[in-house]
Amino acid sequence: MILPETTTVAADEWVSQHRYLRDSGLRFFDLLVAVDLGDQVTEVVTHVMSADATRRAMSRIEVRREERIPSLVEVFPAAAWHEREAHDENGVEFAGNGDLRVLITAADPPPLQRSAALEPRVDKAWPGLYEPGAVSGATRRRRPKPVPGVNEEWINGGRQ
């Protein structure tokens, strides 16, 4: 599948661009995703297509952390969920979306911003062959536990 070229849109043209795409037959709102580019800049990309998926369009906008993006909910009601997720995970503010309730986490900063600290690995064993910082050759790997409901023969080929 070859994706269409992505059109970069200014903030004041964000809604009108999507209204134009909808009116030209691209009525299926497929995706809105936000990516923290660093330096307080977030990129938001949308993908819309025709119902039979023969025509597609992608639009992108870069927004500074303190700026708000106009909501696309008036044009594509399906954008509500995607905007809510982008707000929850990346901290993107959408002007006009009245339902930006927390979906997953109320972390500050949001977990997918580059400024968010990674949670330390405390209660889960490292899944790799070597523990981080271990001397080369000193394995600490344990035999994985079988998944509940899986027969032992399936795991080790019938060997006990």
The CATH homologous superfamily of the domain defined by 6-95: NADH:ubiquinone oxidoreductase Nqo5 subunit (3.30.460.80)
Distance between start and end Cα atoms, the chain:
46
Tell me the C-alpha distance between 48 and 56, whole Å.
Answer: 6
Could you say which residues of the chain have pLDDT below 50?
none
pLDDT at residue 79, as a whole number:
96
pLDDT at site 58 = 96
Tens digits of residue pLDDT in 103-144 = 888 888 888 888 887 665 555 665 566 656 666 666 555 555
**pLDDT reported for residue 60:** 96
pTM summary value: 0.71
Domain ranges of the chain: 6-95
pLDDT value for 159 = 52
Tell me if 32 sits within 8 A of 46, measured CB to CB.
Answer: yes
Please list the residues that pair with 32 across neighbouring strands: 46
